[in-house]
Amino acid sequence: MSEENALEKLRSITIKNEKELGLANRSLMYSLFADVFRYPDKDFRDQVRNGELESTLSSIAEALPYPYDLSDDEKKGLRFPETLSDEDIEVEFIRLFEAGPGNPPCSLVEGIYRDGRRSVLKDLIMFYNHFGLSYEEGSMDDRPDHASYEMEFLHYLTFLNLRAMQLEKSQDSYILAQKDFLEKHPVQWVGKMKDQVTLVFNGLKEGVNREVITFYKNLICLLERFVDADYGYVKSSLST
């Protein structure tokens, strides 16, 4: 989303203390959640199969500045069985998130879950542009209210927050922006997406690969829990 690759810069930063470590891992978690809801290409499928996704998410979760424990079932749900074909993964991703007459069974875009779609998009673009991430409606492949874009923006905000912390500059604007963005956007709809994917899962018919749907249902549940926990943490940091 930016001219500079915030993720690469984040990986090159030397972490000096616990506060910086917690903020860096919040940023990494947002980056991870931005990636997992994109089309499952070969690299992603391999990372899920070989346990890299499970290992990475678990290690980041353990280093967050608040409790975010993964159960054994949640960890198991972060892998594809070795027998699961690439075609099954791709077909079920499209069937769940992209296909179907009208809206897909479980959309990954905020506007589907909220009234006033145009005002939602306008507010998102204002957020992005304010922080130097030029986004004109219709100029990108994904919509500005796609889950991946919203998570990528929060990754970028937390990265800017970390840089301000290390440079001993004011962090207030970045912390307030995180709180406002979470409050106005992910907090408003990610829980509804979780309810929708649960509804889809409970109504699955024969011929649908349950293992793929289970995997994405698990991810959405983890995302909803992370968004709620992170929002609570940001609010509490503003009051101290």
Structure confidence at residue 142 (pLDDT): 66
Structure confidence at residue 83 (pLDDT): 86
In degrees, rounded to 5, the angle at the alpha carbon of residue 112 between the alpha carbons of residues 110 and 115 is 90
> Containing H/E element for 174?
helix 172-184
45-60 per-position pLDDT tens digit: 999 999 999 999 999 9
- Indicate whether 2 pLDDT > 70: no
Closest Cα partner for 73 from 173, 215, 203, 195?
215
Residues paired with residue 109 on neighbouring β-strands, in sequence order: 146
All domains of the chain in start order, with CATH: 6-238 (1.10.3480.10)
Residue where the block lists tokens 């990475």: 56
β strands within the chain, DSSP E: none
Q: What is the mean pLDDT of residues 157-166?
A: 94
C-alpha count within 13 angstroms, C-beta hemisphere, residue 35: 17
- Indicate whether 4 pLDDT > 50: no
Q: How confident is the model at residue 154 (pLDDT cuts 50, 70, 90)?
A: very high
Contact 158, 13 (CB under 8 A): no
Q: What is the mean pLDDT of residues 103-132?
A: 92
Residue where the block lists tokens 């649908």: 208
- Indicate whether 145 pLDDT > 70: yes
How much is the pTM?
0.91
